Structure 1
Amino acid sequence: MRKLGCFGLLVVLAAIGAAFIGLQYWAGPGPLKRTTSVQIASGTSLATASVQLEKAGAIGSASQFRLFARFLGSDAPIKAGEYRLPARLSQADILKVLQGGKTLQRFVTIPEGWPSVMVKKALDKTPGLEGAAPVPGEGTVLPDSYSFERGYTKAFMIERMQGAMTRYLAAAWEKRKPGIAVTTPRDALILASIVEKETGKPSERRMVAAVYSNRLKRGMMLQADPTVIYPVTKGLPLGRRILRSELQANNGYNTYAMTGLPAGPICNPGRASIDAVLDPEQSSALYFVADGTGGHVFADTLEQHNANVQKWYAIRKSRGEM
């Protein structure tokens, strides 16, 4: 009897030990040596996913993973998507990740004021996006950060960005202030692109919009340098001073040689610049010039403007720029 009792105790202890080892295997640190990602396609079964996980080095054995998942894991289905698995993540937690559906979020960011050639370049350089896409129409993309999953196409991302711009412009147009200088949403987009390129200070956008709005209403030339540069570089930095021949060019964009708006947008303006054009500052200013601090000083008359220009020249000379 005593021998039987000892044997029973050994069996119990062996069972406890096996259970402990099993739990350690299931819930303890996994074999993955470095953070990796796995892509689970739609309709993938746990059996297929376990094979993927084994190949990725996230688990030691696909068959053992399925066995432990059956007895120790939840019976919730796994969800499609791309998942980031940290190094040493336990098999129990890997199952929870796949069942939880918290997929890896990738982002591509389009800054305010980027020309469309830069949008295409950013998409072409973004890992995880597939296919090819043409340069989107200038001004058709809304600057923002856009999430995506591996396998999305560049063409699809452009469609999303363009859809976002269409929706935002339409909503902003409905809220426009009465008496503004532009009469159509497209004209608002064109003027917003000029405002976007003329100032990088958010606090100035409505004032810059006011200057150009006042000029449009008076039939004055806008005389905006970025519109001169656009046909030359398609929105990329010029890297030199504007040539006299470029100031005299008749190309539909040179606002030193024509009145009214240029033929189209010169960049992809952000929300704030669109809003500024549709609700400009109440001002009679017609001119502005750099003030030496990254901003601008505004003037109502040409005489005031010329004085401000001389101050700016003095600043540049003191810096050795002239």
Structure 2
Amino acid sequence: MWRNIASNALTILVVGAFLLGGVVIWGQKRYEAAGPLEAAICVQVPSGSTMAAVSRDLASQGAITSDRIFRIGADYTDKSGALKAGSFLVPEGTSMAEIVDIITRGGPSTCGTEVVFRVSVSRIFGEVRELDPATGVYVETAEFNLNEEDRPDAYTQVRAEPFTDYRLVVAEGVTSWQVAQALGMIDLLEGDIAETPAEGSLAPASYDLSEGQDRADILARMQARQSAILAAAWESRDDDLPVSTMEEALILASIIEKETGVPEERKQVASVFVNRLRMGMRLQTDPTVIYGITKGEGVLGRGLRRSELDAETPYNTYVIAGLPPTPIANPGQASIEAALSPAETDYVYFVADGSGGHAFAETLDEHNRNVARWREIEQGASGQ
């Protein structure tokens, strides 16, 4: 009798274990299977939230088939305690396992609203942008000038939201004064800027911002990045260049930056100035003269006068030999690399060609013909 009871109990245990194993396998398959989402969504995880709260939100949006399996899976993979606050993009068909990875991986938010503060050569402005989950493309909802006191309602609203991301985008060729001015106008930042950073010392790039960040710390990041870029380019520079220090390379790169209209021409533009320096020719470039007038504080907004082109100043490269005393803008990495590894050409002249780029020449006669063509283009445009 006892033998029969023991045998039956063992059978029950075996069957129970078999059924439990089947349930586990079934749950695991559901956890890793493609999800029910037919279109991407943004999932917001508030600070201090729990996996249970997130699972309920996901279930209500139709992103998962079972909030219980979602929580069990997160527990089983030891990710329940790794939840990160933020706004995250969940693509269509994402499995529960993949969603858990997205909301526990960390890093910047990948969805929702962002404010981009842009420093361009001619303008300092802000954009409020909302990500469209279906297309993965940010759609602009508002734009405003930073030097205006009144901010649009769209900006005021997103400033009060916890998941808004902020970025500063600095264009190549802007001056350090322009960057310092922009930082002073961004209201989410704190701290004073004691003095304008040295011209050329700031790396044009995109920088993440956060509420309460110190303005001086942001400038320090930009300077450290530019120093690293310059050092790397200097280390791999060409032989026999007519610049002997990294500062001279930075000055040359800033001129190349201001004279380049088409990115693909950077190395050719660089070759013109390098060839001129080697030959002892004056650089004869308008942007240096303009910088001598504005000191980098804003845009000249008019053409150069004959008297300005004839005046002997440290930045008038029509009069002085060699490089001006300082950079005239903050060059990007491509211009720094072009200055230290220019194209091998015999070009010593260039002029606009009407397409946004330049016509290059080796001789003065060839250059004069290019100039004549450019004058014809100008006259044709003015007559339309």
TM-score (norm 2): 0.59
Q: 1:157 to 1:318 in 2, by over 3 A?
A: same
Q: Does 1:225 align with 2:286?
A: yes
Paired with 1:83 and 1:146, the residues of 2 have a C-alpha distance of: 18
Moved over 6 A (4+): 35-38, 72-75, 96-100
169, 184, 195: which is aligned to 1:109?
169
SS in 2 for 1:282: coil
- 1:268-279 counterparts in 2 under 5 A? 268-279=330-341
**Pairing partner for 1:159 from 210, 220, 223:** 220
Q: Could you list the per-position Cα deviations for residues 92-134 of structure 1 after superposition, in whole angstroms to 9, with x for gaps in the alignment?
A: xxxx999875555421111111111221122223342212213
Which residue of structure 2 lines up, in the alignment, with residue 259 of structure 1? 321
1:174-198 CA deviation, whole Å, 9 max, x = no partner?
0001122211111110000000000
* Change beyond 3 A, Cα 1:128–1:283: same
- Structure-2 separation of matches of 1:213 and 1:128: 43
1:240 Cα deviation (Å)?
1.3
Cα offsets for 1:130-163 (capped at 9, x unmatched) = 1221322110001000113211111100000000
Taking a change above 3 Å as real, the CA distance of residues 97 and 215 of structure 1, as seen in their structure-2 partners, is closer
Of 155, 171, 179 in structure 2, the residue corresponding to residue 119 of structure 1 is 179
Q: What residue identity is the alignment partner of 1:191?
A: L
Q: Which runs of 5+ in 2 are unaligned?
A: 1-42, 51-71, 90-100, 110-164
CA contact (8 A) 1:177 1:278 kept: yes
Provide the residue aligned with 2:27 in structure 1.
none
1:115 touches 1:234 (CA, 8 Å); kept in 2?
Answer: no
Matched letter for residue 186 of structure 2? T
Which one of the candidate residues 69, 76, 80 is aligned to 2:81? 76
Paired with 2:242 and 2:383, the residues of 1 have a C-alpha distance of 36
Q: How far is 1:231 from its partner?
A: 1.8
Q: Say whether 1:246 aligns with 2:251.
A: no
More helix by share: 1
Residues 1:191 and 2:284 are matched in the alignment: no
Q: Which residue number corresponds to residue 128 of structure 1?
A: 188
TM-score normalised by the chain length of structure 1:
0.70
Q: 1:37 to 1:121 in 2, by over 3 A?
A: farther
Quick check: 1:129–1:154 contact (8 Å CA) kept in 2?
yes
In the alignment, which residue of structure 1 is the partner of 2:237?
Answer: 176
| TM-superposition CA deviations, 1:230-267 (whole Å, max 9, x none) | 02223333221101121122221110110100010000
Q: Which has the higher contact order (CA 8 A, sep 6+)?
A: 1
Tell me how large the CA RMSD over aligned residues is: 3.1
3-state DSSP of counterpart to 1:76 = helix
Deviation larger for 241-250 or 230-239: 230-239
User: CA 1:299–1:99 in 2, change beyond 3 Å: closer, same or farther?
Assistant: closer
